[in-house]
Amino acid sequence: MSDAQGRKPSQEELEEQLTELLTEGELKDEDRERKEREQISPRYEIRIQTTLDPIVEETRLYRTMAQELDGRYDDYLEKTRPRPPRAAEEEQQE
């Protein structure tokens, strides 16, 4: 047995072999299609606008059942309260 046959490959040689194995050959069709789909950005963004805010509805429901210890949702509920349009407010002031 010669010295070259008995020794283990170094880390650099293993990395080179691994690199060759990973870069050789073509990708399978399934992998290629999947990677192509991942690279394509979506054309459309779907948004759903609701008339009711589920957080507001649940908070109101819980407040009918029990008293809230802290007012952590008071600011949020104040922001979600419907307000008349600015034009209507200006007409009322005149």
Q: Which of helix, strand or coil describes residue 73?
A: coil
Digits of tens for pLDDT over the chain (94 positions)? 444 555 677 888 888 888 887 777 665 667 777 888 777 877 777 888 888 888 888 888 988 898 878 888 888 888 888 776 665 556 556 5
Give the domain range for residue 86. 54-93
Domain assignment present for residue 89? The answer is yes
Residue 49 belongs to some domain of the structure? no
Domains contained in the chain, number: 1
Specify if 69 maps to a domain: yes
Those residues whose C-beta lies under 8 Å from the C-beta of residue 32, and which sit 6 or more positions away, are 26
Whether 53 contacts 77, CB under 8 Å: no
For residue 36, tell me if it sits in a domain: no
Q: Does residue 48 fall inside a structural domain?
A: no
Report yes or no on whether pTM surpasses 0.85: no
37 in any annotated domain: no
